[in-house]
């Protein structure tokens, strides 16, 4: 079973049909390029939904994973393992948090953070604080807890009843104030709404949330699953706004492609989840931790955050130029660092544009139903971006 049509046939007959994959099978990648089984080359500007921080087959990541696999792959949390201890200390330093809990995905990190909030108040004799304030168009994951915070009704349909949550408009501090009450335990927010359409927090919004939550005595939870690990040009998306939440969730880019999630919190929260109250068999595995350490090593040694800021600014400028050039198709550009979007005009079928780009060898994703989202590997080179942007220009030109 090695050719595309055979594999696609078997996939359609055996995989659960909850995704919408095209008839394409990828075999390998190199940097920001992917190759399908027929040898066709694609420029990868989606990086597995903002995951492949160092691109594909980065020699440092490959070496770290191989070396760790030969030593110790898995242990569980019954004992410490060195790569995980090292990683925890590094992440606390990078984020100015006090402690880190490890799991294997973004949703699990969010779930841990929501449980942290509830149990913190339960342990402080405020059991009534169970409600969360979240934002319309937010995406926080799909387990029942995280799904309650996700502010997109289409994802929630058919899964209720969900945990008590109030959704308000992203950017609307008055609405947050109005939704506040003594049953609220936390406000959860993304510094840039990724899945919702690549919408950066409006000026002053995150600081306003910081002030409101402090005043109300509730937690500010930062969902850094998509924005974290350098994606916005700072280690955390929140750092680019100069605001510190009480706890954060990381995942996606942290392992450069190896599944890992982390929840980090401030000192006053370190007793909220005592032994036995929460856990994960795979969380903090030596393999995933070694991968994350390799990502952080390369990030530091190559000054990757500076590269993200520079190339991100370039990409933003080029996308804004394309929007000006094709005003009937594109309405504008927005984003932060290498989380950028070209917003399409109402009525333009974003999915069809993504398909046309893919046929011409450029991979991007749709965000919020209205935008082409660009989340390339953080070490993407400008020349490759230029090559891909020429294709975007051509496709938009064909639609105008």
Note the residues at the interface with ligand PLP (CB under 6 A): 49, 105-107, 110, 139-141, 190, 194-195, 223, 225-226, 251
Q: Tell me if 171 sits within 8 A of 151, measured CB to CB.
A: no
Rounded-to-integer distance, Cα 124 and Cα 143, Å: 26
Compute CA distances 252 → 28, 220, 226, 365, whole Å: 20, 21, 6, 15
CB of 4 to ligand PLP, least distance (A): 26
* Residue nearer to ligand PLP on the CB measure, 139 or 238: 139
Rounded to 5 degrees, φ, ψ at 148 are: -60, -35
CB of 231 to ligand PLP, least distance (A): 10
* Residue nearer to ligand PLP on the CB measure, 106 or 376: 106
Q: Tell me if 318 sits within 8 A of 214, measured CB to CB.
A: no
- Look-up: residue for tokens 């659960």? 16
Strand 131-135 with 165-168, pairing: parallel
* Residue nearer to ligand PLP on the CB measure, 228 or 384: 228
- Look-up: residue for tokens 């971006």? 385
Rounded-to-integer distance, Cα 53 and Cα 47, Å: 7
**Coil vs helix vs strand at 220:** strand
CB of 393 to ligand PLP, least distance (A): 28
CB of 333 to ligand PLP, least distance (A): 20
* Residue nearer to ligand PLP on the CB measure, 83 or 141: 141
Rounded-to-integer distance, Cα 206 and Cα 95, Å: 16
* Residue nearer to ligand PLP on the CB measure, 103 or 299: 103
* Residue nearer to ligand PLP on the CB measure, 33 or 108: 108
CB of 196 to ligand PLP, least distance (A): 9
- Look-up: residue for tokens 């569980």? 76
Q: Is residue 67 within a helix (H) or strand (E), and if so which, with residue range?
A: helix 59-71
Q: Which residue is nearest to ligand PLP (CB)?
A: 106
Rounded-to-integer distance, Cα 133 and Cα 164, Å: 9
Rounded to 5 degrees, φ, ψ at 165 are: -145, 140
* Residue nearer to ligand PLP on the CB measure, 225 or 296: 225
Distance of CA 104 to the CA centre of its chain: 13
CB of 141 to ligand PLP, least distance (A): 4
Rounded to 5 degrees, φ, ψ at 6 are: -65, -45
* Residue nearer to ligand PLP on the CB measure, 168 or 263: 263
């Amino acid at each position: 079973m090695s050719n595309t049509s055979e594999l696609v046939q078997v996939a359609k007959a055996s995989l659960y049909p909850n995704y919408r994959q095209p008839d394409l099978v990828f075999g390998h990648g190199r940097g920001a390029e992917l190759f399908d089984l027929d040898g066709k080359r694609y420029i990868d500007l989606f990086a597995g939904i903002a995951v492949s921080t160092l691109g594909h087959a980065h020699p440092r990541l490959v070496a770290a994973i191989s070396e760790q696999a030969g030593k110790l792959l898995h242990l569980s949390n019954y004992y410490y393992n060195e790569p995980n201890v090292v990683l925890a200390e590094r992440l606390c330093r990078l984020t100015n948090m006090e402690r880190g809990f490890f799991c294997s995905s973004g949703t699990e990190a969010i779930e841990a953070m929501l449980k942290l909030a509830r149990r913190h108040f339960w342990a402080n004799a405020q059991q009534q604080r169970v409600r969360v304030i979240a934002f319309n168009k937010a995406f926080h994951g799909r387990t029942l807890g995280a799904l309650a915070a996700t502010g997109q009704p289409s994802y929630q349909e058919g899964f209720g009843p969900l945990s008590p949550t109030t959704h308000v408009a992203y950017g609307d501090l008055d609405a947050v104030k109005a939704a506040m009450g003594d049953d609220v335990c936390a406000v959860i927010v993304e510094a840039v709404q990724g899945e919702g359409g690549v919408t950066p927090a409006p000026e002053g919004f995150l600081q306003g949330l910081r002030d409101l939550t402090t005043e109300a005595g509730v937690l500010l939870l930062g969902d850094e699953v998509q924005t974290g690990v350098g994606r916005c040009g700072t280690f955390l998306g929140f750092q680019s706004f100069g605001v510190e939440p009480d706890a954060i969730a990381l995942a996606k880019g942290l392992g450069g492609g190896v599944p890992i999630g982390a929840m980090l919190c401030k000192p006053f929260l370190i007793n909220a989840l005592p032994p036995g109250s929460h856990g994960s068999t795979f969380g903090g595995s030596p393999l995933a931790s070694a991968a994350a350490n390799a990502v952080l090593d390369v990030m530091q040694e190559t000054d990757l955050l500076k590269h993200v800021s520079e190339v991100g600014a370039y990409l933003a400028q080029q996308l804004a130029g394309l929007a000006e050039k094709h005003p009937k198709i594109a309405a504008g550009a927005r984003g932060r660092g290498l989380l950028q979007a070209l917003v399409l005009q109402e009525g333009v079928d974003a999915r069809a544009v993504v398909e046309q780009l893919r046929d011409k060898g450029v991979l991007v994703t749709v965000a919020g139903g209205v935008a082409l989202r660009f989340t390339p590997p953080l070490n993407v080179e400008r020349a490759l971006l230029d090559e891909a942007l020429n294709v975007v220009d051509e496709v938009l030109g064909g639609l105008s």
